[in-house]
Amino acid sequence: MLAQLRTPVALAPMAGGVGTPALAAAVTRAGGLGSLGGAYLTPQALRDAIREVRTLADGPIVVNLFAPQPVPEVTPYAVALATAELAPFHDALHLSPPTLPERVQEDFSAQLDVVLEERPEVFSVAFGPIPPDALAALRSRGILTVGTATSLSEARALHESGVDAITVQGGAAGGHRGGWQDDALADTLTLVREVARATPLPVLAAGGLMTAGHVRAALEAGATLAQCGTAFLLADEAGTAAPYRHALREGTRDTVLTRAYSGRAARGLRTTFTDAVHHPLPFPHQNALTRPLRTAGAQAGQADVLSLWAGTGYRQAKATGTAQIVASLTSGN
Ligand SMILES: Cc1cc2nc3c(=O)[nH]c(=O)nc-3n(C[C@H](O)[C@H](O)[C@H](O)COP(=O)(O)O)c2cc1C
């Protein structure tokens, strides 16, 4: 199915507000593979989002979640250090002091139940292999499964786990590192070539693909689809908050790899927050701890407390309609 799409572009799943149903639907309507980053959605919100895409577009879509993993223990000392670093940012926005909530992530099995019921054509995960029972359930419903690799050894492990395709994520990519073994930062095309040679599975190439030339090069390296995220951050249909858009359009900030917002390494624009946080809690605790600050920052127009996820190619992102962006990734320029 991946090889039969009219347009060899997949929208990267983007959890946290950027990846709206309208954006997913627009990419699918343009002949590509739309996707929903559902990791932070409650099961009901995930169901609503999938149904909304279905009302807006006919054609295949991906639903993406984070692979389930044990929640690490955190000591009171670690919590005290992390909250102390956040306190001045809370003060500046007149928020009550930071506290770690009881619930730090959504329940994967409840989210998966929604996926099994709503049956998107494709299901993908970041942060690890799909558990065997989930893989079997997805397969029995005819849902194609995709894992994310940032290195050849992760790609081999995913192949052995029995997934149908692999997203190969290079170091230029915006957002979280999608692997689980280490924070490898491979050159996208080099890793795509290696994985395409080492496994028989279709490859979705991700990381730094911003132009038709990049997409062509990824396909020539052996990818079946180019999976683009940053190229869509300024799309009219994206949910990118106004201060986030402004920082992207300014183009003055470097991208950095940071654990400051979530506790997991992710690439985004440098902020005063990424500079100030040196003792984040492990994921998903830090993500839960910083959520009130990020929500308030978006409302107050304060880009410096937002997680401004962006790949190294962000200055080439186009502020226009999604259909035009898909066209620019597949023809001319
Ligand atoms: C704002 C944003 C959010 C992201 N969220 C997710 C996610 O929820 N799940 C996931 O597998 N990858 C996520 N990613 C990573 C993308 O899937 C993809 O690897 C990356 O966007 C590709 O590189 P590019 O940004 O240079 O196009 C996210 C990326 C961005 C920019």
Query: pLDDT of 262-318, one tens digit each?
Result: 999 999 999 999 999 999 999 999 999 999 999 999 999 999 999 999 999 999 999
Determine the distance separating the centroid of ligand 1 and the alpha carbon of 136, expressed in angstroms: 26
Share above pLDDT 90 across residues of the chain, in percent, rounded to a whole number: 97
For 121-151, write each residue's pLDDT tens digit.
999 999 999 999 999 999 999 999 999 999 9
Q: Which amino acid residue places its CA nearest to atom 5 of ligand 1? A: 14
For 84-102, write each residue's pLDDT tens digit.
999 999 999 999 999 999 9
What's the chain look like in SS3? CHHHCCCCEEECCCCCCCCCHHHHHHHHHCCCEEEEECCCCCHHHHHHHHHHHHHHCCCCEEEEEECCCCCCCCCHHHHHHHHHHHHHHHHHCCCCCCCCCCCCCCCHHHHHHHHHHHCCCEEEEECCCCCHHHHHHHHHCCCEEEEEECCHHHHHHHHHHCCCEEEEECCCCCEECCCCCCCCCCCHHHHHHHHHHHCCCCEEEECCCCCHHHHHHHHHCCCCEEEECHHHCCCCCCCCCHHHHHHHHHCCCCEEEECCCCCCCEEEECCHHHHHCCCCCCCCHHHHHHHHHHHHHHHHCCHHHCCCECCCCHHHCCCCCHHHHHHHHHCCC
List, chain by chain if needed, residues with CB within 6 Å of any ligand 1 atom: 12-16, 18, 37, 39, 64, 126, 148, 169, 172-176, 178, 206-209, 227-231, 309-311, 313
The predicted structure's pLDDT at residue 15: 97
User: What domains lie within the chain, and their CATH numbers?
Assistant: 2-330 (3.20.20.70)
Determine the distance separating the centroid of ligand 1 and the alpha carbon of 91, expressed in angstroms: 31
Determine the distance separating the centroid of ligand 1 and the alpha carbon of 272, expressed in angstroms: 22
Q: Which amino acid residue places its CA nearest to atom 21 of ligand 1? A: 229
> pLDDT averaged over the chain?
97
The predicted structure's pLDDT at residue 332: 59
Share above pLDDT 70 across residues of the chain, in percent, rounded to a whole number: 99
The predicted structure's pLDDT at residue 333: 46
Residue 182 has pLDDT above 50, yes or no: yes
